[in-house]
Amino acid sequence: MKAPKLSQLAETLIGSEIVKLGAEIKERIRQGARVYNFTVGDFDPSVFPIPAELQQLIEKAYQEKHTNYPMAEGNIELRQGLKSFIKHYQGLDYEMSEILVASGGRPLIYTIFRTICDEGDRIVYAVPSWNNNHYTHFVEAEHVVLEAKAENNFMPTAAELKPHLAGATLLALCSPQNPTGTTFRKEELEAICDLVLEENAKRGDEQKKLYVMFDQMYWHLTYGDIEHHDPVSLRPAMKDYTIFVDAISKVFSSTGLRVGWGLGPAPVIAKMKSILTHMGAWAPMAEQKGLADYLNDFPSIDRYLKHFKSEVLFRLNSIHDGIIALKQDGYPLDAIAPEAAIYLTVKVDLKGWKKADGSVLAEQSDVTHFLLNEASLALVPFYAFGSDRENPWYRLSVGTCKKEEIGEMLGKLRAALGTLIKP
């Protein structure tokens, strides 16, 4: 059957590279293959369960028949709980009218793009980054893309952004960053905020302002001496131009519960609510009820995070150390020391090396397939996050990683590398 003619968006939209790769891996596993799958930005509930207290509160809400529609902007009790939670952990004061609840971060990000941007508007974002390219395509805006550099831990700098902000409508930032697990340093984010404030000061009352979407989905998961910084804490004037995106998805290992929230100027949040209402992308009622109670239980939250973060960091450090050991043995591998989130940024620069059969790993896609076929190792290449297809860096996610498989994976990777011939 001939494919029907559909909308311009449907005809030109590129599917998720991560979903495509994940489907290939699932099929291999279904056929009995052993795969060390480090691709998914998700959690194995048997390894990283949600907080027990949160689960009990949600179950109680279902038992009490809280299964009807929630308020469009989020239930009052939940927004009150979020107000308290945000003040306690981040030191930010937001009023109820400045908080919007949705079914996870994705609907909020979509509504931010829809609320702020028109066709042809300039949207500035760095790559690698999660889905900014797709959301910019949704609104038919102009992509202003900056390729972040390894020497800056793949975080955009103020100097790199400065030439692109004139006339822009939206600057999309994320820290801790997906896919890199790296973060903004205080001085760098301050400099970026100053650029935004300077740009907005130039614009008249009738002109659109430059807004910052600040995705901080992983901000509770920082390690060692790493501190999370945000625009509003650093520059209070940024409150008029910043829309935060956050959720329980990562902080409580609760990706499937679908509760997220946006924080921003009340007029922007009101318009986002209107769009969200037509989408119907509300967080489930029972989850809202249970979470509203849990967010005020700071001792339970602190206990959960202490254990959760230690388990994630053990996995990140163990794999990082194994990759660095391979680097020290002469293989063209590297990794950035873990800073935050559930991701390790890994470099596998094997282009030009020969396999035992004489074939050459001529392109980065050949390297990706070599890792999967010969080392049973599945990683997400940075091109899935908008970078150049020949970029040798990858995202490695430990959300489904069992401790006992780390040594196995590193051993199999070493054995596979040992079969290659250096150019």
Question: Tokens at residue 401, please?
Answer: 């990683």
Residues 367 and 326 in one domain: yes
Judge contact between 81 and 298, C-beta under 8 A: no
Domain with residue 38: its CATH number is 3.90.1150.10
Residues 310 and 290 in one domain: no
Residues 162 and 217 in one domain: yes
Q: Which helix (H) or strand (E) holds 127?
A: strand 122-127
Q: What is the DSSP string of 42-76?
A: S--TTTSPPPHHHHHHHHHHHHTT--S---TT--H
Residues 102 and 243 in one domain: yes
Q: What is the pLDDT of residue 34?
A: 87
pLDDT score of 70 more than 80:
yes
Residues 141 and 220 in one domain: yes
The model's confidence at residue 206, banded by pLDDT at 50, 70 and 90, is: confident
pLDDT score of 192 more than 80:
yes
Instruction: Choose the weakest-confidence range: 31-45, 104-118, 223-237, 262-276.
Output: 31-45
Domain with residue 276: its CATH number is 3.40.640.10
Residues 177 and 236 in one domain: yes
Whether 306 is covered by a domain: the verdict is yes
Residues 110 and 199 in one domain: yes
Whole-number Å distance between alpha carbons of 50 and 258: 13
Quick one: average pLDDT of 120-138?
A: 96
Q: Which helix (H) or strand (E) holds 309?
A: helix 298-328
CB-count exposure of residue 7 (10 Å: 0-12, 13-18, 19+): exposed
The model's confidence at residue 40, banded by pLDDT at 50, 70 and 90, is: confident
Whether 260 is covered by a domain: the verdict is yes
Whether 65 is covered by a domain: the verdict is yes
Give how many domains the chain has, as a whole number: 2
Whether 422 is covered by a domain: the verdict is no
The more confidently predicted of residues 200 and 35 is 200
Mark which of 297, 314, 346 sits at the end of a domain: 297
**Per-residue model confidence as pLDDT tens digits over 289-346:** 999 999 999 999 999 999 999 999 999 999 999 999 999 999 999 999 999 999 999 9
Whole-number Å distance between alpha carbons of 74 and 18: 30
Provide the strand spans (E) within 303-419. Answer: 333-335, 343-348, 377-378, 380-381, 393-397
Whether 157 is covered by a domain: the verdict is yes
Quick one: average pLDDT of 213-232?
A: 97
Judge contact between 401 and 38, C-beta under 8 A: yes
Residues 262 and 149 in one domain: yes
The model's confidence at residue 6, banded by pLDDT at 50, 70 and 90, is: confident
Mark which of 262, 297, 332 sits at the end of a domain: 297
The rounded mean pLDDT for the chain is 95
Helices then strands, counting H and E runs in the chain, come out as: 15, 13
Residues 225 and 350 in one domain: no
Q: Which domain holds residue 215?
A: 57-297
Q: What is the pLDDT of residue 151?
A: 96
Quick one: average pLDDT of 347-358?
A: 95
The model's confidence at residue 3, banded by pLDDT at 50, 70 and 90, is: confident
Residues 244 and 390 in one domain: no
**Per-residue model confidence as pLDDT tens digits over 144-168:** 999 999 999 999 999 999 999 999 9
The model's confidence at residue 412, banded by pLDDT at 50, 70 and 90, is: very high
Whole-number Å distance between alpha carbons of 229 and 216: 9
Residues 288 and 162 in one domain: yes
State yes or no: cis peptide before 128, omega within 30 of 0.
Answer: yes
This prediction's pTM: 0.95
Whether 287 is covered by a domain: the verdict is yes
Whether 423 is covered by a domain: the verdict is no
Q: What is the pLDDT of residue 300?
A: 98
Judge contact between 297 and 53, C-beta under 8 A: yes
Whole-number Å distance between alpha carbons of 35 and 279: 37
Quick one: average pLDDT of 225-237?
A: 98
Backbone dihedral angles phi then psi of residue 85, each to the nearest 5 degrees? -60, -45
Amino acid (1-letter code) at residue 288: Q
Whether 1 is covered by a domain: the verdict is no
> Percent of the chain at pLDDT above 90?
90
**Per-residue model confidence as pLDDT tens digits over 360-406:** 999 999 999 999 999 999 999 999 999 999 999 999 999 999 999 99
Mark which of 243, 265, 297 sits at the end of a domain: 297
Residues 271 and 341 in one domain: no
